[in-house]
Amino acid sequence: MTTTIGMTVRVVVTSGNYEVVDVKKLSVILRNKEKFKMKIIIDNRLESVCYYDGESMGGGDIDFLCSKCGEYVKHETIQFLMQSNRLDKEYKTELNDFFDTNSELLKGHKAYVGLLSCNYCGCEYAIYLGYGEVQPARYQASLISVAEI
């Protein structure tokens, strides 16, 4: 089964596993942006809170208001994590540098960076997410920072 998620990420679902197949497209988007034009619209670095804390490694949904059209940008956490894992190293490094992801903001959370777009207006965002298995079978996710690109 092939599903279209959002406007840029296409995933193939095989026996319950998701495979992100269009990550190259995300890299092209990044390549065409000037990184210093990214503008942070959400910054929870000083007070990181979990939007998900539970037994499913799915990690709930990423959810924030589009700064351009005011609609909600909503995306499954697990798909974002897989997209992040497959993003080109070069762009991953750029995003990690931009968000300065070196410090562990919440105990047991690992930094994940990537891109999401608004389903309504197509506005693209760089995302910095914290995610981790903080105890056996207990998963947490936190939205740390979002930038317009």
Residue 118 touching Zn ion (CB under 5 A): yes
Residue 126 touching Zn ion (CB under 5 A): no
| Count of positions (residues) in the chain | 149
Q: How far apart are CA 141 and CA 110, in angstroms?
A: 9
- The size of the interface with Zn ion (CB under 5 A), counted in residues, is 7
Minimum separation from the CB atom of position 119 to Zn ion (A): 8
DSSP 44-82: -SSS---SEEES-TT--EEEEE-TTT-PEEEEEHHHHHH
Residue 66 touching Zn ion (CB under 5 A): yes
Residue 120 touching Zn ion (CB under 5 A): yes
Minimum separation from the CB atom of position 106 to Zn ion (A): 28
Minimum separation from the CB atom of position 56 to Zn ion (A): 28
Provide the token pair at 37. 């034009």
Minimum separation from the CB atom of position 120 to Zn ion (A): 5
Q: How far apart are CA 146 and CA 135, in angstroms?
A: 27
Q: How far apart are CA 42 and CA 64, in angstroms?
A: 9
Placement of tokens 């949904």 in the chain: 61
In the region spanning residues 82 to 111, those forming contacts with Zn ion, defined by CB under 5 A, are: none
Residue 69 touching Zn ion (CB under 5 A): yes
Residue 12 touching Zn ion (CB under 5 A): no
**Do 48 and 130 contact (CB within 8 A), yes or no?**
yes
Residue 149 touching Zn ion (CB under 5 A): no
Residue 123 touching Zn ion (CB under 5 A): yes
Rank residues 7 and 69 by Cβ distance to Zn ion and give the closer one.
69
Q: Where are the alpha helices (DSSP H) in 1-149?
A: 23-31, 77-86, 89-99
Residue 116 touching Zn ion (CB under 5 A): no
Residues that bind Zn ion (CB under 5 A): 66, 68-69, 118, 120-121, 123
